[in-house]
Amino acid sequence: FAMSSATSTASLPSGLDVLTTFPDVLFIPEIVFGGLVWILVASSKVPLPMVQGWVMFVSVFCFVMSTALLCLYICGAHGGSSSWVTLVSGCHEP
């Protein structure tokens, strides 16, 4: 909770400044490893294809949402609103 309150008082970065702040720079390894996860899931052989389908859906969905959030941050769609901090932290909590 302390990180959210400290981040909400500062202005949110936009443009390429997103890639210089610590919490936001974690989008890059998240996207890289997320892509690797769904590639590995897609290439594995499992006895129940239905289970693999759900795991594939969740991994691709999280990959696409992380990429979309990074693009929105870079475009500055947040407009400096602190509610975006809650949105991003909510997406990263299981």
pTM of the model: 0.62
pLDDT tens for the 94 residues of the chain, in order: 444 444 444 566 667 777 777 777 777 888 888 888 888 888 888 888 788 888 888 888 888 887 888 788 778 777 766 666 666 666 555 5
**Residues 7, 29: Cα–Cα separation, whole Å:** 21
Residue 89: helix, strand or coil by DSSP? Answer: helix
Tokens 């702040």 correspond to: 21
**Residues 54, 47: Cα–Cα separation, whole Å:** 14
